[in-house]
Amino acid sequence: MKKLKVIGIPVLLCLLMVFTSAKTADKQTEKLDDAAKVLKEFGKMKEEIPHDLISECQGIVIVPNLINAGIGIGGKRGRGVAIVKLDNGSWSDPVFVTLTGGSIGPQIGIQSVDLVLVFRHKGVLTEVKRGDVTIGGDASAAAGPVGRSTSANTDYKAEAEIYSYSRSRGLFAGISINGSSLAIDNAANNAFYGDDATAQEIFAGAKNHSASVKNLKSALSDL
């Protein structure tokens, strides 16, 4: 009887590890589905992200339900996904990322927003593997133009590296991302792709054909 107990403990631990890993992977699948939903909702808005900006950009970051809160000192925190354009014009597999930032000034309250960051060059994202990227420091950022075409928008700033779009309750919401830190979420990537997956490898290809990844890429193509 004692032998059965000794043998049973490792088996139970293995089952627990498998169950925990599956639940963690489910969280990442849910995050991908949320990101696809954000893109679809942005596409339905009257003030849409310009089509030519999407076609010319080299990378996108989507952070669903970013929490932006403050009482004197503010902060923002969210988990999302980053995806870059491959040499053949298709989109890479998504890399899980985190966005964290703070601010000081007269502010009070809490807000949940959906955030989309459009990157002119993918190198800013693919180099995140070497450490956090500070938005507004390492890469300049500006509020993105809206409308069907950027060429007709006088606010289009060609010198900016990142264009930000945020919405709350179906409307565009202003939010400052300057000073925020964008980092690779290695734990989330390992849970979804496997322990050996690196952000560099994920960005370099399009090998994952799960329904959630296909749904995200389809939403991005339709934007």
Domain boundary assignment for the chain: 2-222
CA dist 46 and 64 (Å) reads 20
Return the pLDDT at 48: 78
CA dist 78 and 160 (Å) reads 23
Give the largest Cα separation in the chain, rounded.
Answer: 79
Q: Which residues contact 131 (CB under 8 A, 6 or more apart)?
A: 183
Question: Residue 19 in 3-state DSSP?
Answer: helix
Return the pLDDT at 130: 62
CA dist 195 and 192 (Å) reads 9
CA dist 53 and 142 (Å) reads 14
Q: What's the whole-model pTM score? A: 0.80
Closest CA to 48 of 150, 174, 158, 119: 150
Q: Which residues of the chain have pLDDT under 70?
A: 1-25, 69-74, 102-109, 129-131, 137, 147-158, 169-174
Return the pLDDT at 196: 83
Return the pLDDT at 131: 67
